A and B are shown apart, each in its own frame.
Chain A
Amino acid sequence: MKPDVSVIGPVQASIEQKLTVKLSPKSLTISNDSWQHRHHAAMRAEGGGNGETHFTVNIVSDEFRGKSTMQRHRMIYAALSEELAGSVHALSLYTKAPEEVEVVSQA
């Protein structure tokens, strides 16, 4: 059932490009989790979605220094307002400043 997630769709490419430009990340990993959510009522109503509806974003950026999690999430939402108004249905966000990274276990 799981499709080849190594294929990067246009929406994912756009998310990557915008976050790279706006937040100059030290590291940025975006994974497409859309295939796990196709059964949702909302996704079923759209015929399973376009395959680019749910993403997880792991991002480390200097821009996050001194900001609360909510402020960081708002920065991402602001950068991706077009995508969120379009096909993107959900974003799981992991936002860190560079000095916070060592604390987190590498999952």
Chain B
Amino acid sequence: MFRPILNSSLRIARPTASTVVKARLRAYRYLSQEARSTIQKAIEAKPLVLFMKGTPDAPQCGFSRAVVQVLDLHGVPPEKLQSYNVLEDPELRNGIKEFSEWPTIPQVYVNGEFIGGCDILIGMHQSGELETLLENSNIIPKAAEEPAQTTSS
């Protein structure tokens, strides 16, 4: 039971800088195995998982709102997206920060892998990386497969 959780957590720790790995190992002390397991299930609930303040329809924070808007812009279908309102669950709010070693909300996961927060997501949106990631993760259809459409800004 311990092994798969450990493995999948390390898989998320893809930035292989030794400092990051050290920080992650330190985090194991703070987060119980049970809490870790709950979060692992939560981030794998859907291909795209968003931990945010509020809900997609009623975000309670500008950074969470920005992430929802970017995902909306890319046409992420509701059935592929699971969002968690951390304001309703203080345990989750603290747990997810320790899990990812990332101190702020929102947090975005694609196929169980931590992608980043608001600034990173918007940066990826601007560079085109986000579209590629969403396409390659089968969250949105590949644009190239569609007939040429008029683009609206």
Seen from chain A, the residues whose Cβ lies within 8 Å of a Cβ on chain B are 37, 40-42, 67-71, 73-74, 77-78, 81, 84-85, 90-94
B117 at the interface (CB under 8 A from A): yes
Interface residues contributed by chain B, number (CB under 8 Å): 21
Cβ B19 vs Cβ A78 within 8 A: yes
CA A41 – CA B61 in complex, angstroms?
8
Between A and B, 25 residue pairs with Cβ closer than 8 Å are A37-B62, A40-B60, A40-B61, A41-B87, A42-B53, A42-B61, A69-B116, A69-B119, A70-B120, A71-B20, A73-B117, A73-B120, A74-B15, A74-B20, A74-B23, A74-B102, A77-B102, A78-B23, A84-B103, A84-B104, A85-B103, A90-B104, A92-B118, A93-B119, A94-B119
Closest to B117 in A: A73
Seen from chain B, the residues whose Cβ lies within 8 Å of a Cβ on chain A are 15, 17, 19-20, 23, 53, 60-63, 87, 101-104, 116-120, 123
Within the complex, which residue of A41, A71, A84, A91 is in contact with B17, where a contact is CB–CB below 8 Å? A71
Supplied contacts A40-B61, A71-B20, A81-B103, 16 more A-B pairs, CB within 8 Å: A37-B62, A41-B53, A42-B60, A42-B61, A69-B119, A70-B120, A71-B15, A73-B116, A74-B20, A74-B102, A84-B103, A90-B104, A91-B104, A92-B119, A93-B119, A94-B119
